[in-house]
Amino acid sequence: MNEAPLGFLFGLIGCLILLSGFFSGSETGMMALNRYRLRHLAKSGHKGANKATKLLEEPESLISTILIGNNLVNNLAAATATVLAIRLYGDNAVVPASILLTLVFLIFAEIIPKTVAAYHSEGVAFKVSYVLLPLKTVLFPVIWVVNRVIHFFLRFTGFEANNSTEHLSMDELRTIVGEAGHMIPKRHQGMLMNILDLEQVTVDDIMIPRNEVYGIDLDDDVQTILRRLQQSEFTRMPVYREDINNIVGILHQRDVISSIDEHGQVKLNLLMNAVKDPYFVPESTPLHTQLFNFQKHKHRQGVVVDEYGVVQGIVTLEDLLEEIVGEFTSNLIEDNNQDIVQQKDGSHVIDGTATIRDINRSLSWELPTDGPKTLNGLLLEHLESFPDGLVCVRLGKYAFQIEEIKDNLLKSVSTLPQKKSKKKKK
């Protein structure tokens, strides 16, 4: 090398800088790859992704290949620069040349290649994999020795290499879906988030409470039963005796016709033949479990009971699906019966039976959901007793005014308008 032309030495250093930049960029590009997108592209038949996947299956060998090549190039560049400096300026130029070479390599062989690879990891990684894969095969003997030494020292110091496949937790998956941006339409993004949240919501969060259940009491007279059948807007109704806790079955509207005689009268014995056995559901059942149970047992409605077997309400498949896709109904009666009504002054009148989850979702509030399920229950828990009159209640940053109390129930509650709260602050 001492007798090589100066032009050759300068050209060699330039080539070594490029090679060093190649290895530096390769390391960053390969390690910055999105593993889940990489698997998707590999399954789609992308050649570069397939090669990159093979390299990442053995990360130790990949890193060894890159570092062996990078160190060889850097050491050769240092030796060449030393020879070149001595030939041009003598022995005193070795230290300045080393400093200059370090700066050049730092900028052009480290920072720039790694920055480009970090921003364009796929483009870099897929291209360099065509070189790294055969290079790994060529250097296999050296890599094998290096890896054996590494494993020895890892075991000696108490560390073990972990080659387990990466798995996403639920929280991590929620973060990915939430940050998908334009890659997933907003509505689809919301549906995916709702599916992930199903395991955190139980049946009693979405059920129709027992005081709102519309059913048929077999102890009523025939005319009352017929009138309730005619007035019902529900497809399926629970059938009970005297009290909702004594449910004997579920009646489908289409089966009612078989229990009516030629005079238009309901025959109770025929009606009972049309009643299907009730399907009971524990109130603490997570929604994702109940969805599979509905599918498994071929049911569309369940009677929710507590730990003592007392009926708490009714849950339907439609209610559960609405938790995923949002509300969908052709029920005009329900459409005209809103639990939350906005007033002109910005306040809201809320039905006491409205669920906390619906209020939070509709008004973008953050009322606690780990206790009572309805606004009535939440306010009574805070008051610790039924109020003697119409009172105001403050829960954190939210203020409520009780408007109507009926049948041991806070029937109507209004939120205090923002104007009033501002005046109080003054």
Confidence at 1, pLDDT banded by 50, 70, 90: low
**Does 313 have pLDDT greater than 60?**
yes
- Give the predicted TM-score (pTM) of the model: 0.61
> CATH classification of 203-329, choosing from 3.40.50.800, 3.10.580.10, 3.40.50.1820, 3.30.2320.50?
3.10.580.10
CB-based burial label for 23 (10 Å; 0-12, 13-18, 19+): buried
The conformation of residue 111, written as its DSSP 8-state character, comes to I
Q: How far apart are CA 5 and CA 215, in angstroms?
A: 100
The domain limits of the chain are 6-156, 203-329, 338-425
Confidence at 397, pLDDT banded by 50, 70, 90: confident
> pLDDT digit string (tens) for 74-109?
999 988 888 888 888 877 778 888 888 889 999 999
Confidence at 21, pLDDT banded by 50, 70, 90: very high
Q: How far apart are CA 68 and CA 29, in angstroms?
A: 17
Confidence at 333, pLDDT banded by 50, 70, 90: very low
| Exposure string over 150-182, b if 16+ CB within 10 A, otherwise e | eeeeeeeeeeeeeeeeeeeeeeeeeeebeeeee
Confidence (pLDDT) at 37: 85
In this structure, the strands spanning 280-282 and 301-305 are parallel
Confidence (pLDDT) at 329: 53
- 12 versus 331: the higher-pLDDT residue is 12
SS3 120: coil
SS3 103: helix
> pLDDT digit string (tens) for 155-194?
888 776 655 556 777 777 888 787 777 777 877 888 888 8
**Does 234 have pLDDT greater than 50?**
yes
Confidence (pLDDT) at 423: 42
> pLDDT digit string (tens) for 361-375?
888 888 888 788 888
Confidence at 129, pLDDT banded by 50, 70, 90: very high
In this structure, the strands spanning 208-209 and 410-415 are unpaired
Confidence (pLDDT) at 116: 94
> pLDDT digit string (tens) for 190-229?
888 888 888 888 898 888 888 888 888 888 887 888 888 8
> pLDDT digit string (tens) for 264-287?
676 777 778 888 899 999 998 999
Mean pLDDT of the chain: 83
Average pLDDT of the residues in 249-278: 80
Confidence (pLDDT) at 223: 82
Confidence (pLDDT) at 334: 43
Among 13-27, 89-103, 283-297, 326-340, the least confident range: 326-340
> CATH classification of 338-425, choosing from 3.60.20.30, 3.30.465.10, 3.20.20.70, 3.40.50.300?
3.30.465.10
**Does 3 have pLDDT greater than 70?**
no
